[in-house]
Amino acid sequence: MSKTKINRRNFLKVLGLGGAGAALAGCDMPSTVTLEEGEEKIYSYLAPEEYVIPGVGVWYASTCLQCPAACGTHGRVREGRVLKLEGNPDSAVNAGKLCQMGQAALQAHFNPDRITAPLINGQPASWDDALALINEKASGGNVAWMTGTVSGHQRVLLDAHLAATGKGHHYAVETVNARAWTDAGKTVLGDAMPTLHLDKAKAVLSLGADLLGTWISPVTFMGQYGKFRAAPRGVLIMVEPAMSLTGANADQWVAAKPGTEAAVALGVGHLLMTKHGLSLNGMPNATSAFQSMTPAQVHEIAGVSEAALNKIADTLVSHSPSLVIANASHAAARIAMVLNIMLGNVGKTLTPGASIAADPLAPMMGSSKDLAEFAQNAAAGKIDAVFISGANPAFVAPQGLDMAAALKAVGFKVAIATCHDETTKACDVVLPLSSALEDWGTHVPAYGGKPGVVHLQQPLMEPLHADTRGLGDILLTLGKSAGVDGLDAFEDYYGYLRTAVSAMIGSELEGDWHRVLQAGQFETRAASRAFSAGHDVALGFSETAVSGLHLVTVARQGLYDGRHANSSWLQEAPDQISKAVWDSWAEIHPKTAASLNLKDGDYVRLTTASGAITTRVFIYKGVHPNAVCVPMGRGHTDYGRWANNGVNPLTIVDAHLGDWQSSEIIATASLVKIDAAGENRHLVRLMDTDQQYGRKLVATIPAQQFGRTQGGA
């Protein structure tokens, strides 16, 4: 892997010339011509630059922005085009690996439906006109920002803009979030983001935290999972209403009624106390909560058998140290934290986290609470203008929030986006954003990185569309017009970032800057945290409705919360569980199907208090009979040529049902009515069978046998 030291600006200039080279070495050239030794010399390259060799790819480090985890990447650049992304082996977050969403960042960049020019009221306009209009309409009053998870110097500039414009608020919106876990960590242990050591745990109990799929930093966790499964092999137990990717890899998958994971966790604690003699010193509240939830009650509330509950408790005790994680609800996450204290995992598999000392750069993690708050404040006329970037509130908001009306109530809306979506359509001004592979930035991973390490995002390619601008550049421009002190010194975001990074690494030398570019990251001072003694918080199980059918909306690694639905690779990548492509489906249990006389591919109408959607059923045993599981991500109406398929279950989630002691919208609380819609059409899937018919395709052996041979290690 060659990493040539070059002048960055020169590099970009050079890439501009690279178009001529691209025409020479076109994509239809067979590999043998370009790769046979010496053959590359046959090209007469028009203006050969010092390092650009036709036919030879060069790798540049950058950062993945496909989900909030901020993995380090290497992009292969050849003849001025970025061709392939890999994980950056030097990044402690992903250690050289990428998930399929990271691989598909190429399609977000080369997407045929990119916005190429600024729009005012839907009509093409110049940057000058757009910025003038913004200055006029969004310079005073309550100017808000809505983004996804944001960190690094983009956050610094954004905060500065907010401070300069007045009294606005920053709403960070992530439908897929770990808010339950981080809140519980803060409450119980005094640390919102403790470090998990899956690789050291001998058993892991997860209560609805899809750590291999979408939770916090899936590639970090999958890397640890690989070690967890090496001899001596760890045991994974998953409790959830509908099977996630993590559940699909569990040794023991336990179906709980939607929203009852907290009861199961209390039941486990009960058995740990009564059967295994564990106790909690100085935590009388927690102790009494555990004592009052008997296995019989768990069976009644959650539908989890006493045998299954005993097996969980026994495994946690016999496989020490273990680890209990949760994301199902705030209640479940708190109980999980306390279970870790009871099991003696704290300090072994759960240790205090550490992060960057420079607080202004720390990630502002999104939540659905911010989405609801935005809708309320906007509808109440408290927001005069809003900038929206990296969020699609019009798509992810439940109908109950009436986001359309809320957005209408905001006088002036600016979308900063790479592609049109449901939100840009509702905005007055749309600014065309550079893709993540064309932009500069710094990103502080919320989890999994080496403490104090900042990931650098650098362009892997000259902008595809001349009139797009980077987020940092737009923030800089906005900051300057808002009168933020000190920004006038910087001509562009690159200059700003380079100065800022040089200051952080304590060197202005060209060589040190190049080292940062090559590494794709740099180290700055870390601040480690410490756990407080376990806080004896109230533990309980919120008695939301636990009978009847519930709608369970889940995110899958792939389309995620819908932001990747405009990728043809991810649309055609079969869903990990149902193996369906290009359309939505509802997962239901065979018992539910039998009671309604439904068969695979039947269309059903799912009706909640908030609305209705119609989709096909996929029948299997990986959902609780009380759950109807509809993965999110599809059902777009304005998101490019590939996204117009399926249904969006988020619209019919009941938004008023806040989680226990939080305002997060919970994905499992909506009661749903299911009616046959009459039609049947085959759901297109990778495979139409779930059976191996006696062939040895995936052979499974018992763990004892694995133990005897150490897995053949």
Q: Report the site for another protein in 450-479 (rule: CB under 8 A).
A: 464
Binding mask 17-56 for another protein (x = CB under 8 A): -----x--xxxxxxxx-xxxx-----------------x-
Output 9 or 696, the one with its CB closest to another protein.
696
Distance CA 220, CA 41 (A): 42
Q: Are strands 385-389 and 143-147 parallel, antiparallel or unpaired?
A: parallel
Distance of CA 22 to the CA centre of its chain: 35
Q: Are 612 and 647 in contact (CB under 8 A)?
A: no
| 181, 225, 560, 639: which one binds another protein (CB under 8 A) | 225
Is residue 219 near another protein by the rule CB under 8 A? yes
Going by the DSSP 8-state scheme, the letter that residue 534 receives in this structure is P
Is residue 485 near another protein by the rule CB under 8 A? no
Q: Which two tokens stand for residue 342?
A: 């009871």
Q: Are strands 385-389 and 412-417 parallel, antiparallel or unpaired?
A: parallel
**Segment contacting another protein by CB under 8 A, of 5-13, 85-93, 136-144, 440-448:** 85-93
Q: Which two tokens stand for residue 574?
A: 């079969």
Is residue 711 near another protein by the rule CB under 8 A? yes
| 141, 574, 601, 611: which one binds another protein (CB under 8 A) | 574
Closest approach, Cβ 378 to another protein, in A, equals 36
Site for another protein in 551-570 (CB under 8 A): 557-558, 568-570
Output 153 or 556, the one with its CB closest to another protein.
556
Is residue 250 near another protein by the rule CB under 8 A? yes
How many residues are there in the chain?
Answer: 713
**Segment contacting another protein by CB under 8 A, of 78-86, 165-173, 188-196, 671-679:** 78-86
Output 247 or 562, the one with its CB closest to another protein.
247
Is residue 115 near another protein by the rule CB under 8 A? no
Is residue 108 near another protein by the rule CB under 8 A? no
Output 27 or 489, the one with its CB closest to another protein.
27
| 61, 98, 156, 655: which one binds another protein (CB under 8 A) | 98
What lies within 8 Å, CB to CB, of 139 at 6+ separation is 165, 481, 482
Query: Exposed, middle or buried: residue 641 (CB in 10 Å: 0-12, 13-18, 19+)?
Result: exposed
Q: Are 274 and 294 in contact (CB under 8 A)?
A: no
Is residue 252 near another protein by the rule CB under 8 A? yes
Site for another protein in 144-163 (CB under 8 A): none
**Segment contacting another protein by CB under 8 A, of 128-136, 241-249, 331-339, 664-672:** 241-249
Helix (H, G, I), strand (E, B) or coil at 683: coil
279-to-314, 618, 658 alpha-carbon distances in Å = 15, 44, 32
| 189, 196, 245, 652: which one binds another protein (CB under 8 A) | 245
Instruction: Strands of 121-234 (E only): list them.
Output: 123-124, 143-147, 170-172, 195-196, 203-207
Output 101 or 192, the one with its CB closest to another protein.
101
Q: Is 387 left (phi over 0), alpha (psi -120 to 50) or beta?
A: beta
What lies within 8 Å, CB to CB, of 286 at 6+ separation is 269, 280, 338, 536, 537, 539
Closest approach, Cβ 302 to another protein, in A, equals 13
Which of 577, 572, 649 shows the shortest CA–CA distance to 614?
649
Is residue 550 near another protein by the rule CB under 8 A? no
Binding mask 305-324 for another protein (x = CB under 8 A): ----------x---------
Is-cis flag, bond preceding 432, omega within 30? no
Is residue 58 near another protein by the rule CB under 8 A? no
Is residue 209 near another protein by the rule CB under 8 A? no
Q: Are 218 and 211 in contact (CB under 8 A)?
A: yes
Output 25 or 132, the one with its CB closest to another protein.
25
Is residue 213 near another protein by the rule CB under 8 A? yes
Output 222 or 309, the one with its CB closest to another protein.
222
32-to-28, 38, 39, 40, 370 alpha-carbon distances in Å = 11, 11, 9, 10, 54
Q: Which two tokens stand for residue 180?
A: 């339950």
Closest approach, Cβ 201 to another protein, in A, equals 15
Output 233 or 515, the one with its CB closest to another protein.
233
Is residue 82 near another protein by the rule CB under 8 A? yes
| 48, 166, 226, 232: which one binds another protein (CB under 8 A) | 226
Distance of CA 616 to the CA centre of its chain: 26
Is residue 448 near another protein by the rule CB under 8 A? no
What lies within 8 Å, CB to CB, of 673 at 6+ separation is 549, 606, 607, 608
Is-cis flag, bond preceding 30, omega within 30? no
Q: Are 388 and 428 in contact (CB under 8 A)?
A: no
| 218, 321, 390, 432: which one binds another protein (CB under 8 A) | 218
| 63, 66, 91, 111: which one binds another protein (CB under 8 A) | 111
Question: 284-291 vs 261-274: helix axis angle to the nearest 10?
Answer: 100
Q: Is 416 left (phi over 0), alpha (psi -120 to 50) or beta?
A: beta
Output 365 or 570, the one with its CB closest to another protein.
570
| 229, 425, 450, 514: which one binds another protein (CB under 8 A) | 229
**Segment contacting another protein by CB under 8 A, of 220-228, 356-364, 403-411, 426-434:** 220-228
Distance CA 123, CA 503 (A): 42
**Segment contacting another protein by CB under 8 A, of 161-169, 447-455, 482-490, 616-624:** 616-624
| 169, 480, 579, 673: which one binds another protein (CB under 8 A) | 579
Distance CA 499, CA 490 (A): 9
Is residue 12 near another protein by the rule CB under 8 A? no
Task: Report the run of H or E that residue 86 belongs to, with start and end.
Answer: strand 81-87
Is residue 694 near another protein by the rule CB under 8 A? yes
Is residue 687 near another protein by the rule CB under 8 A? yes
**Segment contacting another protein by CB under 8 A, of 62-70, 286-294, 443-451, 618-626:** 618-626
Is residue 253 near another protein by the rule CB under 8 A? yes
Is residue 682 near another protein by the rule CB under 8 A? yes
Is residue 489 near another protein by the rule CB under 8 A? no
Output 496 or 618, the one with its CB closest to another protein.
618
Beta bridge partners of 685: 580
Beta bridge partners of 628: 551
Q: How many residues bind another protein (CB under 8 A)?
A: 112
Beta bridge partners of 326: 207
Q: Which two tokens stand for residue 488?
A: 């006038």
| 11, 63, 72, 86: which one binds another protein (CB under 8 A) | 86
**Segment contacting another protein by CB under 8 A, of 7-15, 95-103, 147-155, 170-178:** 95-103
Tokens 């869903």 — which residue?
575
Site for another protein in 169-208 (CB under 8 A): none
Closest approach, Cβ 560 to another protein, in A, equals 13
Which of 227, 259, 397, 248 shows the shortest CA–CA distance to 327?
259
Closest approach, Cβ 437 to another protein, in A, equals 10
